[in-house]
Amino acid sequence: MQGFIEIAKTDFMATFEDSWIFPVLIFCIFWILWKEQDRTKKWLAGILPLILLVLYWCPITGILLMKILGENVYWRILWLVPVSVTIPVAFCLLLKSMKGGARFAVFLILSAVIVLGGKKVLSTEWFEPSTNVWKVPQNVVAVCDLLPGNVHVLASNRLTPYLRLYDPTLTLEYARNALIFNGMDEVYGPTANLYKAIQEPEIDVDIVGPLAREQGCTFLIFSIGRTYAGDWEDYGYREYASTDEFRIFVDEDYEEGQDTRKWED
Amino acid sequence: MRLEILLTFLLFYVGAFFSGIMLCKILHLKKGEPVCAIISGVVVWWAVMELLLVPMTMFLQSFRCFTIIYSAIILGMVLTGICFYREYFVSDIKNLKSSIRAYITPGHITALILMLWQLYFIHHHMYLEWDDTYYVNIANEAVVSDKIYWVYPETGTMADFDKRYVLSLWPIFYAWLSKLIGVSPTIMAHTIFPWLMIPLAYMVYFMISKEWFSDDRQMQGMFLTFAVLLHMFMSGTHTSGITFLSITPWVGKGVLAAILIPELFYVFLRCANRDETGNWVLLGISCLGSCLLSSMGIMLIPILTGLMSLLTAFQKRDFRYLYKGIAACVPCVLLGIYYIYLTH
């Protein structure tokens, strides 16, 4: 029960934080219940959101829904609350009784209520200027433009989420799925060991080199500031190219145009 | 890129319009509502895709094969809309021409300007979504390797079948569009899709405003302005329902939260106001379409539809509304049972 309340509270706060949208919503629900003449509309725009909020907070229905949907995504119930219908309907019901200039003036005031009460979505908190039509970081484009297609790559964590968005012919030794190893003191298997070894402050080439070869990594990409203990050439890798932010190594046995992608069944 | 955006825009909206005309004719829905035709057309595209894609994925069919069959079905719907229902869509166009002046109100103009600003901002900015490494790469993998969902999209290496998403392969929709237009699915999702999804979302609110304030155009415009503003000034994190529309309009969950849930509300409002079989069938089609967008749709949509039906049944003291609402949820329920079978 305590766990349910904690989850419901945290998710609720995350959904409605940094704004006055929720108090506005509650005011609008009661305004609709008072002012809307059409009973069907009153029930759909007024009572429906109220019931959804009750279902969300009620421990009995909440725990049941949490079991159906999953604890991690329980907050998605709040998507069903028709915020973007209830608030405009309530505001329009307020405006309906006015005419001419007064209606327009109140329309501007109510628009200002949303603007000032809400959190600006189109802001630099979430967005950054795009520099390419793929809308991926420019450092990803710079690296991918140097790589040939159809090769197996081991890349820095900064690149892995985006490399295949730009060039899906690449295969990666690990991607976001490897983050699970961060919380483990001891890991098993070459991919996991390779990932852990690369997270060390200084890359031990005597560990990473043989593992990378064993896993068939043709290209290795590390941040330019990384330091290495050992010589890559001892394990058959040489420097291939570099960008402002990354250094790329290649397997010396790689021949231009070769397909080294990795498939596992 | 402007040409690709324009081509995709025309393909999507003109295609959806004629498909919607076909659907409206079959369901005997009201003539003279082009925006309603577009919305109906889009949901029927999604519903048909769900019906086709789930078995094709299960039987490990190629993406090329899917593209040919799905394109043929869509083409068939569009041609049916054009050829056999000419009279129907001519009335739509006439109605649009005659009524467009009535929609030049301060509210409509403000909403349009705000929407154009939103599109301009999103076009020139990017939001780096980590989940893209999974979802957008499902689309990339389909186009590049011709395989639907049996390559692990994050690395491209592991031949696997993650049952969590197999019933909701929304990225294949933009993979299909990108195949037709000839651009990378990443570009389709990040750069072109906002131009499709944002106007579509506001078309839904436009229709809600028409249904709610049918006798007051000025009020309809003001409703639309408030709705657009709420999408631009919401609350909380980037996953707070309608905020998705600006942040990640290409993500299935986002389309579900920002377009399909309001669309379902609109269609249900029609059902409640006019208890016609066609409206209920459209509700069922919308429920099926929601399953394509996200596995969340399979679970959330019956909750919403069931609740709206129950409330309306109580309010009207007529339990046929509840039965019809439950019937509309049947596609979600069946897919939900199949989902449980797959994952247990």
Looking at residue B68, its amino acid is: I
**pLDDT of B89 above 80:** no
Q: Of A58-72, A82-96, A114-128, A248-262, give the range with the top mean pLDDT.
A: A82-96
According to the model, what pLDDT value does residue A42 have?
Answer: 94
Size of interface A-B (CB pairs under 8 A): 261
The 3 state secondary structure assigned to B274-330 is CCCHHHHHHHHHHHHHHHHHCHHHHHHHHHHHHHHHHHHHHHHCCCHHHHHHHHHCH
Q: Please state the rounded mean pLDDT for residues B220-240.
A: 89
B283 at interface of A, judged by CB pairs closer than 8 A: no
Find the residue in B nearest to A42 (Cα): B315
| Per-residue pLDDT tens digits for B165-206 | 889 999 999 999 999 999 999 999 999 999 999 999 999 999
* A78/B261 CB distance under 8 A: no
Is the pLDDT at A262 greater than 80? The verdict is yes
Taking residues B43-63, report their average pLDDT. Answer: 94
Inform me whether the pLDDT recorded for B2 exceeds 90.
no
Using an 8 Å CB-CB cutoff, list chain B residues near A130: 124-126
Greater confidence (B238 vs B169) lies with B169
pTM of the full structure: 0.94
User: Is A127 an interface residue toward B (CB < 8 Å)?
Assistant: yes
Q: Which helix (H) or strand (E) holds A245?
A: none
What confidence tens digit (pLDDT) does each residue in B263-322 have?
999 999 999 998 889 999 999 999 999 999 998 899 999 999 999 999 999 999 999 999
Which residues from B are below 8 Å from A40, CB to CB? 269, 272-273, 312, 315-316
Averaged pLDDT for residues B231-251: 86
Dihedral sign of CA atoms A246, A250, A256, A259 in order:
negative
At A264, the pLDDT band (50, 70, 90 cuts) reads: low
**Beta-carbon count within 10 A of A228 CB:** 16
SS3 A242: strand
Distance from CA of A47 to the nearest CA of B (A): 8
When pLDDT is cut at 50, 70 and 90, the band that residue B160 belongs to is low
Burial of A17 (0-12, 13-18, 19+ CB in 10 A): middle
Separation between Cα atoms, residue B41 and residue B56, nearest integer Å? 22
Work out the minimum CA distance from B327 to partner chain A, whole angstroms. Answer: 19
Among residues 189-228 of chain A, which lie with CB inside 8 Å of chain B? none
Confidence of residue B32 (pLDDT cuts 50, 70, 90): low
Chain B residues close to A88, C-beta within 8 Å: 205, 209, 222-224, 226-227, 230
Contact assignment for A128 to B232 by CB distance below 8 Å:
no
Q: Mean pLDDT, to the nearest integer, of A107-123?
A: 93
The confidence score (pLDDT) of residue B267 equals 95
Closest CA to B210 of B226, B223, B227, B229: B223
Of B140, B227, B316, the CB nearest to A164: B140
Whether this model's ipTM surpasses 0.90 comes out as yes
Residue A265 has pLDDT above 60, yes or no: no
B21 CA to chain A: closest CA distance, Å? 26
Name the residue among A240, A213, A223, A239 with its Cα closest to residue A159.
A223
Cβ of B106 within 8 Å of Cβ of A107? The answer is yes
User: How far A1 CA sits from the closest chain B CA (Å)?
Assistant: 22
- How much is the pLDDT for A124? 87
Do residue A84 and residue B242 have CB atoms under 8 angstroms apart?
yes
Q: DSSP string covering B18-80, please?
A: HHHHHHHHHTTPPSS-HHHHHHHHHHHHHHHHHHHHHHHHHTT-BHHHHHHHHHHHHHHHHHH
Q: What amino acid occupies position A178? A: A
Is B239's pLDDT higher than 80?
Answer: no
Task: Look at residue B159 in the predicted model and tell me its pLDDT.
Answer: 64
> Region B215-234: what's the mean pLDDT?
93
pLDDT above 80 (res B39): yes
Average pLDDT of the residues in A138-164 = 94
**Confidence at A192, pLDDT banded by 50, 70, 90:** confident
Q: Which residues of chain B make contact with A122, given a CB cutoff of 8 A?
A: 118, 121-122, 125, 232, 246
| Residue B248 DSSP class | -
- Shortest distance between the Cα of A48 and any Cα of chain B, in A, equals 7
Q: Computed from CA positions of residues B60, B62, B65, B68, in that sequence, does the dihedral angle turn out positive or negative?
A: positive
CB-based contact, B102 to chain A, within 8 Å: no
Say whether residue A247 is in contact with chain B using an 8 A CB cutoff. Answer: no
Task: For residues B157-164, give the mean pLDDT.
Answer: 71
Query: Does residue B92 surpass a pLDDT of 70?
Result: no
| CA atoms of B250 and B188, how far apart (whole Å) | 9
Average pLDDT of chain A is 91
Q: For residue A16, what pLDDT band results from cuts at 50, 70 and 90?
A: confident
Q: What is the pLDDT of residue B215?
A: 86
Residue A65 structure tokens: 């829904």
List, for residues A66-112, the tens digit of each pLDDT value: 988 888 888 899 999 999 999 999 999 999 988 888 999 999 999 99
Task: State residue B166's pLDDT score.
Answer: 87
Whether the CB of A34 is below 8 Å from some CB of chain B: the reply is no
Of B144, B243, B269, Cβ closest to residue A44? B269
Contact A178, A198 (CB under 8 A): no
Tokens 């919607």: give the residue.
B20
Query: Which residues of chain A neighbour B299 with C-beta distances below 8 Å?
Result: 68-69
User: B120, B226, B251, B293: which to substitute to probe chain A, counting the most A Cβ within 10 Å?
Assistant: B226
Domain boundaries, chain A: 2-117, 138-251
Name the residue ranges covered by the structural domains of chain B.
Answer: 2-343
Mean pLDDT score across all residues of chain B: 91
pLDDT for B102 equals 79
